[in-house]
Amino acid sequence: MSTIITETSATAVYCSRHYQPWAEELERSVKAAARGAGADLQRYPGTLLHEPEEVATGNGTPFKVFTPFWRACNRRPDPSSPLPPASLAAVEKFLASEELDDWRLTPTAPNWTFGWNDLWSPGEAGARRALTSFLSHHVQDYGEGRDIPSEPNTSKLSPYLRFGNISPRQVWHAAQLAKQERPEAAGSINKFLSELGWREFCYHLLFHFPQMPDEAFNPKFSFFPWGKDEERLRAWQAGRTGYPIVDAGMRELSQTGFMHNRVRMVVASFLTKHCLLNWREGEAWFWDCLVDADLASNACSWQWVGGSGADASPYFRIFNPITQGEKFDKSGGYTRRWLPELARLPEKYLHKPWEAPEAVLAEAGVSLGDTYPRPIVDHKTAREEALRAYATLKEIA
């Protein structure tokens, strides 16, 4: 950075505010480096709609429940609309720069991200196209269709928000304009905005509780009897659990760097409640694999599903991976796409292939334990074990 400041004769370095636990230390080091090169560091709030310390309960404490948090946000003045600069001076010459390949960002043994360049368009232009496409063609179906993984009813803006290719203020104002132009879609748009609110809530929690990525928000869960089963963990990571909706989600993740939100909840519930593996195992895997991996949202979401987080899903809410598949992927389009080995199974057995008669399996080219794994756990047994494990927390004062 010092070299860039010197070569461009820059007088200031501009950046958005960060909220990670290490943000203050990072800012101090960047500020010192900038000043050493003769420039000031100018920091602005451009990552969120509302600054975490500006939204508080009536007692002045941080919110721990989403609904009153988002209600308080909506009582505040509308976020200001981002404005382009009156002028933007260009440097006199382009600086020498490294190529992205020089940074060795992609894995090599093997490169399991092969083909991702065809799926994503990083940068501001790609972000604007994604937002425009969503608001023009899909937002009207978002409210009722956002849980259907086979349909393109979600925005897929999370990677662009994560890396600052687009700001939440741009998204918020574009959505407000869409409500004016398409009043019949107002309900779906409000639902979409509330999901943007969940992102705000996650950052609110991370700012006030910086230990969230590493420690259970509910201290009782520090005593939870998590298991240690490397074989189950590897099966989950590879999409080889024997439960089609779970495996489809994990295959989508490994092949695209993304996973549909409904399916994220299902696979997270399966890891923490069917396999009784620590939510931090899933948090770490998602952090490695997701193109939208975000410290706040990742930690908050995993703790929410696992039952240890703020405003968490109740411990007894254990997603049934069979009925989740039957309900949200009824036609099987999503499962068949990511599990081609099951593509010829009838809908009746697609989400529970172990119940299919041998003749049906043979006709579909499925050999359980060979072309597709048998379930690594029994749903009913796993549910009972999870409830017994969670019941131990009731004994803790």
Active site residues: 195, 198, 226, 261, 279, 302
- Quick check: 218 and 312 in contact, CB under 8 A? yes
Between CA 269 and CA 257 the distance in angstroms is: 19
Question: Tell me, what amino acid is at 45?
Answer: P
Between CA 310 and CA 278 the distance in angstroms is: 17
Question: What HEC string does the chain produce?
Answer: CHHHHHHHCCCEEEEECCCCCCHHHHHHHHHHHHHHCCCEEEEECCCCCCCHHHCCCCCCCCCCCHHHHHHHHHHCCCCCCCCCCCCCCCCCCCCCCCCHHHHCCCCCCCCCCCCHHHCCCCCHHHHHHHHHHHHHHHHHHHHHHCCCCCCCCCCCCHHHHHCCCCCHHHHHHHHHHHHHHCHHHHHHHHHHHHHHHHHHHHHHHHHHCCCCCCCCCCHHHHHCCCECCHHHHHHHHHCCCCCHHHHHHHHHHHHHCCCCHHHHHHHHHHHHHHCCECHHHHHHHHHHHCCCCCHHHHHHHHHHHHCCCCCCCCCCCCCCHHHHHHHHCCCCHHHHHHCHHHCCCCHHHHCCHHHCCHHHHHHHCCCECCCECCCCCCHHHHHHHHHHHHHHHHHCC
The closest alpha carbon to 233, from 393, 357, 26, 377, belongs to 377
Between CA 219 and CA 201 the distance in angstroms is: 20
- Find the helix packing angle between 295-306 and 261-269, rounded to 10°: 50
- Please list the residues that pair with 43 across neighbouring strands: 15
- Quick check: 301 and 264 in contact, CB under 8 A? yes
Phi, psi of 44 (to 5 degrees): -130, 150
